[in-house]
Amino acid sequence: TVWENVAFGPTVQDWNPHRRDQIVREMLNLVHLSDRRDAHPRELSGGMQQRVALARALATQARILLLDEPLRALDARLRVELRQELRTLAKYLGITTLHVTHDQEEAVTVADRIVVIRRGKVVQAGSPREVYEDPSSPFVSNFIGEANFLEGILSRVDTGFSVVTLKDGRRVLGRPSNLPANSSVVLGVKTDFCEVQPGKVEDQNSFTGTVVRSLFAGKRKTLEIQTNIGLLKAKIPSDRSLSEGNEATLSFPSENGIVYPIPSEGLQVALEVE
């Protein structure tokens, strides 16, 4: 039963029965399953089963909780619901929780600190905001969120900005860089930080092309714009009237363009998710 599942840890640890029952009641209360204590797992929904598993883990009163893809098997709505509950419970109980996930949105939602691991190595660690707004590499930039990448030569570094000359001779501005002038670089900018205007607009860091795809996602939509330097993407409010076939200009502020050295294995390989 649900009760027996949650009581498993304290029972094998030979807790005093009174203390065991007290903690089981408290855990079932926390996960809102007190009224299902006599039910069997097969009688529960997927979300309820995950709550039972969480209560069973918490009932041992361990100092560290390891969650390995705890929400992977649930549908999208339940995942959103339970990830909020997971964070609330961990905060309420004051328990350090190591939460492993491949879902980037889940990671930035539940974590106080994110560690991005690739090929067995830590590539960046920091708060969700730090990892999102100041990614350490093209891989992190494209993994936590989505980014556009422009390859070129770092032609100038100034106090407040860098100048990158693209393959077509156009110059774009990005954040200051410690890389030496004339280095081969790639400038990355998050699709969330890009703006799109209808028609052709001549401005700094602007690229005009044709909207080839518009992907609706609730309050925001992703526009894919074919320009003369390749396909660029931007996430904009869904109520904007731009649609497929329209001429449009994508632009971004220089402070949102991060300059990276060209990866030795090539950009496409560097962006691959394993």
**Average pLDDT of the residues of the chain:** 91
Tokens 């039972």 map to which residue? 52
Per-residue pLDDT of 207-234, as tens digits, reads 999 999 999 988 999 999 999 999 999 9
pLDDT value at residue 129: 95
Residue 214 inside a domain? The answer is: yes
Closest CA to 89 of 19, 38, 26, 34: 26
Q: Considering the entire predicted model, what is its pTM?
A: 0.84
Is 237 inside a domain boundary? yes
Q: Which of 78, 96, 112 is the last residue of a domain?
A: 112
- Tens of pLDDT along 55-74? 888 888 888 989 888 888 77
- CATH code, 22: 3.40.50.300
Burial class (CB in 10 A: 0-12, 13-18, 19+), 258: buried
Residue type at 197 in one-letter notation: Q
pLDDT value of position 132: 95
Count of structural domains, the chain: 2
- Asked if residue 208 lies in contact with residue 247, where contact means CB atoms within 8 angstroms, the answer is yes
Is 247 among the domain residues?
A: yes
Can you give the residue range of the structural domain that contains 205?
A: 195-251
Q: Is the separation of the CB atoms in 184 and 208 below 8 Å?
A: no
What CATH number is associated with residue 203? 2.40.50.140
At residue 168, what is the residue type?
Answer: D
Partners of residue 217 on adjacent β-strands = 220
Q: What is the CA radius of gyration of the chain?
A: 24
Bridge partners, residue 216, by sequence: 221
Q: Which residues of 132-165 are buried (b: 16+ CB within 10 A; e: fewer)?
A: bbebbbbbbbbbbbebbbbebbbeebeeebbbbb
What pLDDT band is residue 49 in, cutting at 50, 70 and 90? Answer: confident
Q: Tell whether 15 is covered by a domain.
A: yes
Strands (E), 16-170: 64-68, 96-100, 114-118, 121-126, 147-157, 162-166
Residues in the chain: 274
What are the pLDDT digits (tens) for 138-181? 999 999 989 999 999 999 888 889 999 999 899 999 999 999 99
Mean pLDDT of 82-106: 87
Of 112, 134, 168, the position where a domain reaches its end is 112
Q: Report pLDDT digits (tens) over 26-44.
A: 888 888 889 999 999 889 8
Q: Is residue 117 part of a domain?
A: no
